[in-house]
Chain A
Amino acid sequence: MSALQAKIDATEERVAAHDMPQGGWSMAARNEALARLRSMGLPSRRDEYWKYTRPDTLTQVGATNAAVLATDEAPVFGEIDTLQIVFVDGVFDEAASADLTLEGITIERLAAANADIHWAKGLYGALETNGQTPVERPLATLNTAFATDGVLLHITGKPSKPIHLIYRHVSNASDAILHHVIKVDADAEVTVLENGPAAARFNECMEVDIADGAKFHHVRAQGRDHERRAATHIFARLGTESTFKSFTLTANGVMTRNECVIELTGDDAHATIAGASLGDGDFHHDDTVFITHDAVNCESRQVFKKVLRNGATGVFQGKILVKAGAQKTDGYQISQSLLLDEDSQFLAKPELEIYADDVACSHGSTSGAIDEDALFYLRSRGVPHGEATDMLTLSFLAEAVEEIENEAIAEEINERLAAWLARRRS
C-alpha cells in the first residue's frame, strides 16, 4: 500500500468517526472543510512539517485514555475578575458559566447560533483556509468540519473584564473539538483567557480578526493533566495599527502542538506570540509559528522558552515571511531551552524568508544548562541549591512571561511556574 493510500485511508477512517453538526450558517464552511481535508489528508510522520512531532495520537480515531489529575490547587486566573465560560470535556456547562452578557461584546456559542445569517459566517473557516498556504494544517481543517461547539465573540467596545474560557477534563476518554471565532471591531479591545486541560484529547481552533486600531490580548494555561493531548491552532489577521498579543503556559501534557498563524495585513500593526513551557519526563511540546508581514512598518515578536528535564522534548518551528513591499518590518524571534539534564532535547527550526529590502529581522535559538557560576553565587549567599535553581529557571522564563501586558495576569503565571518548580524540588 502506498504512503498516499495509507494517508487517504487514515483520513477516511477518522472522518467516518465524526458526525458533522447539521444546519445553520456554518454548513457551507464545514462541508468545504471536509472536502479540503479529504484532499490534503491528515498529517503523517512522513510530512516535513511533522518531522519533530509524531502526529499519530492526534490523528488516530478516538482519544488515548488520559487520567484526570486530582489536585487541590486553586484554578489559574482565580484571583482575577473574569466572565467565565465553562466547557467540560468539550461540552458547554451552562450552570457553571456566567450569564453571557457584557457591555461591549456579544457572546454566543457556536452550537447555539443556528440562524442562516450570522456575522461569523464570513470568518468561520476563512482565516483557517487562509492559513493553509504555504503549509497545510489538516488538524485545523478537521476542526472546522467537525467542531461541536465554541464561542463566537464579537467585540464592539472595551468589555470591563476578560472573557475566560475554562476547560475541565473529567472523563478519561473524552475527545473534544472546539472552534472559536473572535471579531474585534475597529478600536475595540478584549482580553481572552483560557485555562484547563479540556479533555483527554483536545483539538482547538481559534480564528481572530482584529480590525484597525483594535487590540486582542490572549493568555492561556493549558492545564496540568499529564496524560492529555492537545493540538491547537490560532489564526489571526491584523488590520492597521492593531495589536495581537498571545501567551501560552504549558506545564505537563504528554503531547502538545500549538500552532499559530499570524498575518499582518495593515500598516503599523503589532503581533506578539510567546510561550513558556515546562516539561518533566514523558512530555512533548511543539510550538509552530508562521508570521506573514504583508504591510509596512509592522512589528512581530516570537518569544519561546522551554524548561525540559527527565527526557522531555521541546520543539520550535518558527517562520517569519516578509512579503515584497512589507518595508520597515521589525521581526524578532527567540527560542530557547533550558535543559536540566542530558536526557532532554530541544529541536528548533527558525526560518526567515524576506522579499523586502528595508527590514530588520533577528532570530536566535539556544539550548543551555543552568549557569553554574550564577548557581554558585546564589548558594554562596545562603540560597539553598533547589531554591537557587528555581530562581535561575524563573529568570530564564521571565523574558517570555514579560510579554504579558497585564501585570496581575503575569503574576498569576509566575506563581504557577514557581509552584510547578517547587513541587519538583521535594
Chain B
Amino acid sequence: MLNIKNLHVSLEEEDKQILKGVDLTVEAGKVHAIMGPNGSGKSTLSYVLSGKDGYEVTEGSAELLGEDLLDIDPEERAALGLFLAFQYPVEIPGVGNMTFLRTAVNSQRKARGEDEMSATEFLKVVRERAKSLKIDADMLKRPVNVGFSGGEKKRNEILQMAMLEPKMCILDETDSGLDVDAMKLVAEGVNALRSEGRGFLVITHYQRLLDHIKPDVVHIMANGRIVKTGGPELALEVEQNGYADILAEVA
C-alpha cells in the first residue's frame, strides 16, 4: 500500500534536515503505529506524505499503490486515496462543514472519473456516518471547525475520513487534546473503518490510543529515522520505560 524508501527531508526555509532516511512499508489491511519523542520527525513525515509546502525531499521515495506520491499535488494524493487526519484541524470561517464535505467528496470522485454523489444521496450517507460519531446537525451546518471543541474537531476529522473512504489513512496525534471518552469515540470511528483494503499509519506519543486502536506493527522513530520495529508489545515497553532505554539500546 504505502512504500517509503530512504526518505530524506529538509526544511525549505532553513537548511535543517528533519528526516534522515525513513524506510517504512504499510500493507493493506494493517495498522502501523509510529511512536517517538518530540522532534523525532513524526509530524513532518505526515506532512511530507500529504504534500504540505515548506519541505524539500532531498533523497528517497514514497509511493502509494505504486504511484509516486512526492511528484503530485496534495489534491491528487487525496484522490489517489491518501488521507491525513490533522493534529490541529484548521478552522475555516465562512465555509459550511457540509458544503466542504460534499465538495471534497465530489472533487475526488471527479478526479477519479467517477460520478458525483447527488445531494440527497450525500445527505443520507453523511447523516448516518455523523450519527455514529455523535456529530449533530448543528455541527454539520456550522463553518468548518469554527468554535468546535478539541474533541469535536477530531471527530470531524474522522467523519471526513469516513466520507472520503481513503485507502491509506494517516492519523497525526489524533489523541492529543482528547479526554478518555472522546478518545474512545474517535478510536471506535477509526476501528469501524478498518478493512482488508485499507492501511493505517497512527502517529502518537502515547500508548493509550493504541489500547483502543490495536496496531499490528509498532515503529519507534527518533532523530529522523525509524530506529526500532516490533509488535504491539513495543508500545507497552515505551509506556513503562520511556524512550530513553530504547534509544540507548539502538545508539
> A3 to B231, alpha carbons, bound, how many Å?
86
Beta-carbon contact of B84 and A380 below 8 Å: yes
> A242 to B94, alpha carbons, bound, how many Å?
29
Query: Chain B nearest CB: distance from A378 CB in Å?
Result: 7
> Among the listed stretches B71-79, B200-208, B220-228, which one makes contact with chain A, having 4 or more residues with CB under 8 Å of it?
B71-79
Query: Chain B nearest CB: distance from A374 CB in Å?
Result: 5
> Among the listed stretches B10-18, B30-38, B49-57, B178-186, which one makes contact with chain A, having 4 or more residues with CB under 8 Å of it?
B49-57
The verdict on B93 contacting chain A, using a C-beta distance below 8 Å, is yes
Beta-carbon contact of B53 and A379 below 8 Å: no
Using Cβ atoms and an 8 Å threshold, which residues of chain A touch B90? 371, 373-374, 376-377
Beta-carbon contact of A382 and B111 below 8 Å: yes
B-facing mask of A383-415, CB < 8 A → 1, else 0? 111011001101110110000000000000000
> Among the listed stretches B101-109, B119-127, B129-137, B240-248, which one makes contact with chain A, having 4 or more residues with CB under 8 Å of it?
B101-109
Query: Chain B nearest CB: distance from A127 CB in Å?
Result: 35
The verdict on B148 contacting chain A, using a C-beta distance below 8 Å, is no
Beta-carbon contact of B92 and A377 below 8 Å: yes
The verdict on B60 contacting chain A, using a C-beta distance below 8 Å, is no
Query: Which single member of A372, A380, A382, A391 contacts B95 (CB below 8 Å)?
Result: A391
Beta-carbon contact of A382 and B79 below 8 Å: yes
Using Cβ atoms and an 8 Å threshold, which residues of chain A touch B111? 382, 384
Beta-carbon contact of B164 and A382 below 8 Å: yes
Query: Which single member of B51, B83, B91, B160 contacts A379 (CB below 8 Å)?
Result: B51
Using Cβ atoms and an 8 Å threshold, which residues of chain A touch B150? none
Query: Provided the pairs A372-B53, A391-B103 are in contact, do residues A380 and B92 lie with their beta carbons within 8 angstroms?
Result: no
Question: Residue among A380, A382, A395, A398 with the most chain B CB within 10 A?
Answer: A382
Using Cβ atoms and an 8 Å threshold, which residues of chain B touch A385? 73, 75
The verdict on A51 contacting chain B, using a C-beta distance below 8 Å, is no
The verdict on B89 contacting chain A, using a C-beta distance below 8 Å, is yes
> A384 to B76, alpha carbons, bound, how many Å?
8
> A151 to B143, alpha carbons, bound, how many Å?
42
Query: Which single member of A373, A380, A391 contacts B50 (CB below 8 Å)?
Result: A380
The verdict on A424 contacting chain B, using a C-beta distance below 8 Å, is no
B-facing mask of A349-389, CB < 8 A → 1, else 0? 00000000000000000000001111011111111110110
Beta-carbon contact of B51 and A392 below 8 Å: no
Using Cβ atoms and an 8 Å threshold, which residues of chain B touch A371? 90, 92
Using Cβ atoms and an 8 Å threshold, which residues of chain A touch B73? 379, 384-385
Using Cβ atoms and an 8 Å threshold, which residues of chain B touch A374? 90-92
Interface size (A, Cβ < 8 Å)?
Answer: 23
Query: Which single member of B52, B107, B143 contacts A382 (CB below 8 Å)?
Result: B107
> A381 to B95, alpha carbons, bound, how many Å?
14
Beta-carbon contact of B95 and A379 below 8 Å: no
> A392 to B99, alpha carbons, bound, how many Å?
12
> A385 to B78, alpha carbons, bound, how many Å?
12
Number of A-B contacts (CB under 8 A): 77
Using Cβ atoms and an 8 Å threshold, which residues of chain A touch B52? 376, 380
> A392 to B143, alpha carbons, bound, how many Å?
12
> A373 to B111, alpha carbons, bound, how many Å?
22
Query: Chain B nearest CB: distance from A334 CB in Å?
Result: 13
Beta-carbon contact of A381 and B53 below 8 Å: no
Using Cβ atoms and an 8 Å threshold, which residues of chain A touch B75? 379-380, 382-385, 388
Closest to A393 in B: B94
Query: Provided the pairs A387-B103, A391-B103 are in contact, do residues A380 and B93 lie with their beta carbons within 8 angstroms?
Result: no
Beta-carbon contact of A395 and B74 below 8 Å: no
> A374 to B78, alpha carbons, bound, how many Å?
16
Beta-carbon contact of A392 and B108 below 8 Å: no
> A378 to B50, alpha carbons, bound, how many Å?
12
Beta-carbon contact of A383 and B103 below 8 Å: yes
> A366 to B151, alpha carbons, bound, how many Å?
31
Query: Provided the pairs A372-B53, A376-B53 are in contact, do residues A392 and B95 lie with their beta carbons within 8 angstroms?
Result: yes
Using Cβ atoms and an 8 Å threshold, which residues of chain B touch A388? 75
Query: Chain B nearest CB: distance from A271 CB in Å?
Result: 24
Query: Chain A nearest CB: distance from B200 CB in Å?
Result: 17
Using Cβ atoms and an 8 Å threshold, which residues of chain A touch B104? 378, 381-383
Query: Provided the pairs A378-B100, A379-B78 are in contact, do residues A387 and B107 lie with their beta carbons within 8 angstroms?
Result: yes
Query: Chain B nearest CB: distance from A389 CB in Å?
Result: 12
Beta-carbon contact of A377 and B93 below 8 Å: no
Using Cβ atoms and an 8 Å threshold, which residues of chain A touch B77? 380
Query: Chain A nearest CB: distance from B119 CB in Å?
Result: 16
Query: Provided the pairs A394-B94, A395-B94 are in contact, do residues A382 and B84 lie with their beta carbons within 8 angstroms?
Result: no
> A394 to B73, alpha carbons, bound, how many Å?
23
Query: Chain B nearest CB: distance from A176 CB in Å?
Result: 36
> A384 to B107, alpha carbons, bound, how many Å?
7
Beta-carbon contact of B51 and A381 below 8 Å: no
Query: Provided the pairs A382-B107, A387-B103 are in contact, do residues A395 and B93 lie with their beta carbons within 8 angstroms?
Result: yes
Using Cβ atoms and an 8 Å threshold, which residues of chain A touch B103? 383, 387, 391
Query: Chain B nearest CB: distance from A338 CB in Å?
Result: 12
Using Cβ atoms and an 8 Å threshold, which residues of chain A touch B84? 380
Question: Residue among B51, B74, B78, B111 with the most chain A CB within 10 A?
Answer: B74
Query: Chain B nearest CB: distance from A100 CB in Å?
Result: 40
Beta-carbon contact of B74 and A376 below 8 Å: yes
Can you name 5 A-B residue pairings with CB atoms under 8 Å? A379-B51, A380-B50, A382-B107, A385-B75, A399-B94
| Residues on B facing A (Cβ under 8 Å) | 50-53, 73-75, 77-79, 83-84, 86, 89-95, 100, 103-105, 107-108, 111, 143, 160, 164
Apart from A377-B90, A382-B78, A382-B111, list 15 A-B contacts with CB within 8 A: A376-B90, A378-B92, A380-B50, A380-B51, A380-B52, A380-B84, A381-B78, A382-B164, A383-B103, A387-B103, A387-B107, A388-B75, A392-B92, A392-B95, A399-B94
Question: What 5 pairs between A and B have smallest CB-CB spacing?
Answer: A395-B94, A382-B78, A382-B108, A381-B104, A379-B74
| Residues on A facing B (Cβ under 8 Å) | 371-374, 376-385, 387-388, 391-392, 394-396, 398-399
